[in-house]
Amino acid sequence: MTSYQYQREPDASRYGEYLSPMYYALSYTWGRWELEPDRSPETKALEVANVSWPIPRIRPDRFTAAQFKRVLQNILANYMVSKVELSGDQHNTKQHIYSAPQSEFVWLDVACIDQTPGSPLKAQEIGRQARIFRGAEKVFIWLHGIEPSVLWRAVSGLFRAGGEAIWIYGREPGQLPRLRGSVLRGDEGFLAEAVTSLQDLLKDPWFSSLWTLQEAFLSPAAEIVDKDGQLLCDLRTGGPGAVEARTPIDLQSISRECVLLARVCSRSVAIKKQSTTISLPPSELEESLLALIEKSGLATLALRNPMALYTMSRKRTTRDPCDRIYGIMQVFDFQLGSSAPEADPQKSFTLPELEIQLGEELFRKMPLLSQVVVHTEVVPFGHAWRVQASSTMPSLADQLTYYRTSSIWGTYEPRCNLSASTQSGTAWGRFDGVSIPFSELVEVCRIVNEAGLYQYSERISGQEVQYEASEPNENYSQPKSCFQLALDMTELTFKSPYLSSLELSNISPHQQNQQSAALELASACECEHLELRVILLGRYVDERRDRWDWGMTEDKDFSRGEKWNMGILLSRPFPSNRVGHLNQENTKWRRLGVMIWDLANNALTGRTSKEKEYLLGEGRTWEKTEGLFG
């Protein structure tokens, strides 16, 4: 086995004598089992020629160098092609046809990244992870932590459970919101199998590694190989041992089942908790499965939201805290800290420094995306403009198809300029846009809600169950408000008994819950003599309705597209005379959360011209505002 160093050329990549060769990439985890130099000297490392660094040695109870080499050989052998070799002279040419691996190259971190601590080459190669994994012909995920039989049983059990869930939830847009009576009556055997299967699957350390999280995001079609390097194949049509329909199982197919099961469980839990007319079985199974799916991150990966990836990284294992940034920055196409091309090789960076760099780059390249987080703990004044250790994804992000398409860049119309500014040694966020009093916008949204609410019922076990929907159709639908809030944990929300009792990142979308949270927030600000305004960040518009979502269709009406406005909630002390300029560039505002409101046709139908101005972010009702926030 030989390592070839990367050499960049104008129109290609050169590796030794090879120009842009076809290659595979391997995603696996090993850092937790690396041996110290003075431990177990008899344990050998993987033999790789042409490297200037020592290849890490791994504890043999995890895998040996011989096993590692055999796995790599098996991975190459999974895809063979016919090749022709000619021999003899021009008068007597012989043709020999033989089988050979489709590719002879594998990108392997220990053999392709300089493992010398502090090496500038190591930092640069880490900065190329997105290009490496996106450029691979195939990516393989090596699950070496569980036996092949356990892996097969876990994945096939998950697929069986997903197949049962399809009958309940369906895949067509018109069927997705519908929950049939079987789950509500307690016919939930498939959920028990899903819980057991996912528990077994998550025993493999690949699902708890930080570095594999980025690789998973970059390679949704990565194929699974077992402990021995053999492809895990979907044999549902022929059963184990069948040769027909030998379809490799990839990450997105497993993630797809988790998305489907999570939707079934979430809807079941919601209906069971809302039902007051009949007695329904408890929801422990659904809640257990939801917790496992959240722990795995598999359904979150399907959202294709890189900010969700950042918050997920807090739940993953790593030896260096700075890897919370280095380990996921490539999903944004960022090169930060020591991996930046112009970085001083002698300088080391702290996690707060890297978080500031990430926040500044998000402001510059993805301003809307940078604010779709909430803080679950109180953060110091001036720091809330950027992601923190306590940041998480709010549930309202699921409403923006922007985060569920194949492109992380999305399509939106910015209405606010965001940048970073240092004041007295503290990095603040700076905004320059338009704003409106929070209470005025909420009042218009209340009018929209009252004009568009419908109520339905369905017979379950012979009894009628009432539920509400935001649109008149025959399906179950989560009773939604035309606006949704997600709030940061701040001193203000902490003081409010009502707000502190809520899961602020996941406030129920029901109009009554949203309205109550909005009124309580406005009241709390009034009591503290705070001015509360909505700063319009931009408008998300998707007329195309991209249906590419890891094979899952969306639970929306494809015919009308998506239109949402999004804003951040900022507060400041009221001036003594209740009149203050909004365009003072150094005025400091406290970030309290985020808000989105619907601009689809049904939200605007029947509205007065004044009400439309409020909703659209247009007219004199929206005032020019600038300042610092955090």
The DSSP secondary structure of 291-357, one letter per residue, reads HHHHHHTHHHHHTT-HHHHHHHHTTSB-SSTTHHHHTTGGGGT---GGGSTT--TT----HHHHHHH
Tokens of 22: 């076809």
Domain shared by 448 and 550, yes or no: yes
Domain shared by 310 and 323, yes or no: yes
Last residue of a domain, one of 283, 308, 331: 331
- Over residues 534-550, mean pLDDT: 64
Give the model's pLDDT for residue 527: 94
Tokens of 320: 């260096």
- Over residues 327-347, mean pLDDT: 86
Domain shared by 124 and 153, yes or no: no
- Pair 597, 407: CB distance under 8 Å: no
Give the model's pLDDT for residue 249: 92
Tokens of 86: 């000619």
Give the model's pLDDT for residue 93: 65
Domain shared by 134 and 171, yes or no: no
pLDDT category, 277, cuts 50, 70, 90? low
Say whether pLDDT at 395 is over 90. no
Give the model's pLDDT for residue 198: 95
Tokens of 555: 């639970």
> Strand 92-101 and strand 412-414: pairing?
unpaired
Say whether pLDDT at 129 is over 70. yes
Last residue of a domain, one of 97, 116, 139: 139
Is 265 among the domain residues? yes
Domain shared by 605 and 513, yes or no: yes
Say whether pLDDT at 473 is over 50. no
Give the model's pLDDT for residue 267: 72
- Over residues 44-58, mean pLDDT: 91
Query: Which tens digit of pLDDT belongs to each residue from 174-205?
Result: 443 444 455 555 556 788 899 999 999 999 99
Query: Which tens digit of pLDDT belongs to each residue from 138-163?
Result: 999 999 999 999 999 999 999 988 88
Is 362 among the domain residues? no
Domain shared by 318 and 424, yes or no: no
Domain shared by 132 and 276, yes or no: no
Range of the domain at 287: 144-208+233-331
In whole angstroms, give the CA distance from residue 595 to residue 483. Answer: 7
Say whether pLDDT at 464 is over 60. no
DSSP 17-42: TEES---EEEE---GGGBPPTTS-TT
Which segment of 43-52, 164-173, 294-303, 589-598 scores lowest on mean pLDDT? 164-173
Domain shared by 122 and 166, yes or no: no
Is 192 among the domain residues? yes
Domain shared by 276 and 391, yes or no: no
Give the model's pLDDT for residue 206: 94
- Over residues 14-40, mean pLDDT: 88
Give the model's pLDDT for residue 465: 41
Query: Which tens digit of pLDDT belongs to each residue from 359-370?
Result: 888 888 877 778
Give the model's pLDDT for residue 433: 95
Number of domains in the chain: 3
Domain shared by 529 and 383, yes or no: yes
Is 94 among the domain residues? yes
In whole angstroms, give the CA distance from residue 268 to residue 188. Answer: 11
Question: Could you give the angle at the alpha carbon of 320 between the alpha carbons of 52 and 346, nearest 5°?
Answer: 55
Say whether pLDDT at 470 is over 50. no
Q: Across 24-28, 240-244, 347-351, which has the greatest mean pLDDT? A: 24-28
In whole angstroms, give the CA distance from residue 26 to residue 106. Answer: 7
In whole angstroms, give the CA distance from residue 4 to residue 573. Answer: 61
Say whether pLDDT at 556 is over 90. no
Is 403 among the domain residues? yes
Last residue of a domain, one of 331, 359, 377: 331
Domain shared by 175 and 259, yes or no: yes
- Over residues 315-335, mean pLDDT: 85
Q: Across 236-240, 364-368, 513-517, which has the greatest mean pLDDT? A: 513-517
Say whether pLDDT at 553 is over 80. no
DSSP 439-460: HHHHHHHHHHHHHS-EEEEEEE
Query: Which tens digit of pLDDT belongs to each residue from 570-596?
Result: 999 987 655 556 667 678 999 999 999
Is 346 among the domain residues? no
Query: Which tens digit of pLDDT belongs to each residue from 398-440?
Result: 666 444 333 434 467 889 999 888 888 888 999 999 999 999 9
> Collapsing DSSP states into helix, strand and coil, what is residue 489?
coil
CA distances from 153 to 149, 258, 470, 535 (A): 6, 16, 41, 51
Is 5 among the domain residues? no
Query: Which tens digit of pLDDT belongs to each residue from 249-270?
Result: 999 999 988 988 888 787 777 7
Domain shared by 397 and 435, yes or no: yes
Is 619 among the domain residues? yes
pTM: 0.78
